[in-house]
Chain A
């Protein structure tokens, strides 16, 4: 579904990605794990068209999207849920959700998705008219995820959905991610919380200083001594 081939991204003279190749097949959950600054978020930004790669190709469903504008990429069903607190704090919860569906023409499908989001996260329904900045950290992450659902993703890029959240909220978020997959959404999950990510994922890639160093089925990586030492706390 998503093919990345030899992707290079630089910030000025600093190479952030030095030839990344990875693949996400339809229906999978693929995890991309690595420490802070390894290039995880940069990879997602490049896929979403927010950064122009120096070299390399990104294909979504067989079509090259490397030079498309971010909005065109979203409209093809490749949606990114950015890291936790990037909700629009001055917009209401309802406006946040509405904005993410703004490009969709099928109003009844949008209404169905809204109902679904409010069903998944009832707290968002109670707070629809509230300014999103007043939500708690966990609620903001729910809003971010709900917002992505409103964009009708077929492939969802999730950036650190567990970052800075209480364990109970993390459980809930990962539950919803698993549900989404069951409904046919393919997922590329970027996480520092490697243990959570590997438990959920089918396959995973390990990224270190801008390059993929390992790739294997998630259960294998969970047992891998190098991964255990570096990301799973020994």
Chain B
């Protein structure tokens, strides 16, 4: 029972991070039909910013997180402006390949300037200190990851549901052409979508590296891929889908490792992708997937 609870805590943590990252992928995909391979690297950016803020600037952890979101968000906006906007209207595969190039660019620039050596990201002791509680080994960071993720998801949902720019984002994901005719400054909406997405990935990167203790130039790459799986499971383009997909994936991965024979636990990533294939066989559009409608 305790073991089960412990694994649930782990799964909630992992799932929260996947969900935060998957939301950004899904928002951008919804509007531009772009599978943004550089999205996971925004986690890396966030983690490095937090590292600098905590160690060099000695900022409190809250401001480090905020700063990571701001910097990652700003970089997301700049990348959209410089790399993706000029390709708007060309074939979708052109943007996809560009995003792979951006991902590579970020990873290699980080390797060149910061070296590939993993660096420890030390959170303040009061967050990182593990203690025993009701037989569980937990640290305040575990609760922080869950609560902060849920808070951000609630805020994002309210933003998308109630603000004019949120409505415009949903309108764009349905039909960009018509959204122009509503007097909506579509380029600004797209910039906001990239900013919000990258900011969420940035904070997810801080939480990820905070939990696992290390940052390197490739930190975000694998969780970025997993978040993509989560987004697809949930139905790409659907924000609730990305949230559910994230948690589903977190649970699947943690419980696979926890309960499968130890010999198999090295195959956790393979398991994740097999799960993806299985879900897509049954529901090709994902759990919350919307039929790809006519886009005028």
Q: Chain A: residues with CB nearer than 8 A to chain B? A: 48-50, 69-71, 74-75, 79-80, 82, 86, 88-91, 95, 98-100, 102-103, 147, 151
Contacts and interface: CB of A to CB of B under 8 A. Distances in A.
Contacts of B296: 82, 86
In the A-B complex, list the 5 residue pairs whose CB atoms are closest, starting with the nearest.
A74-B183, A70-B180, A102-B164, A103-B183, A71-B185
B258 to A, nearest CB: 39
Interface residues of B, number: 21
Given A98-B164, A99-B171, A90 B183 contact: no
B167 A99 contact: yes
User: Could you tell me the dominant secondary structure of chain A's interface residues?
Assistant: loop
Contacts of A98: 164, 167
Given A69-B187, A79-B183, 20 more contacts: A48-B181, A50-B181, A70-B183, A71-B185, A74-B181, A74-B183, A79-B181, A82-B181, A86-B178, A88-B170, A88-B175, A90-B174, A91-B170, A95-B167, A95-B170, A99-B182, A100-B182, A102-B168, A102-B183, A102-B184
Nearest to A147: B182
A99 B177 contact: no
B183 A151 contact: yes
Given A102-B184, A103-B184, A82 B178 contact: yes
Give the interface SS of chain B, mostly helix, strand, loop or mixed: helix
Contact of B180 (A50, A88, A95): A50
Nearest to B296: A86
A134 B97 CA distance: 38
Contacts of B170: 88, 90-91, 95
A102 B181 contact: no
Given A71-B185, A98-B167, A99-B168, A48 B180 contact: yes
7 contacts: A50-B177, A71-B184, A71-B185, A88-B178, A90-B290, A91-B174, A99-B182
Nearest to B294: A85
A144 to B, nearest CB: 9
B186 interface: yes
A59 B174 CA distance: 31
Contacts of A50: 177, 180-181
Interface in B144-186: 164, 167-168, 170-171, 174-175, 177-186
A71 B183 CA distance: 4
A214 B170 CA distance: 42
A11 to B, nearest CB: 12
B293 interface: yes
B182 A151 contact: yes
Nearest to A98: B167
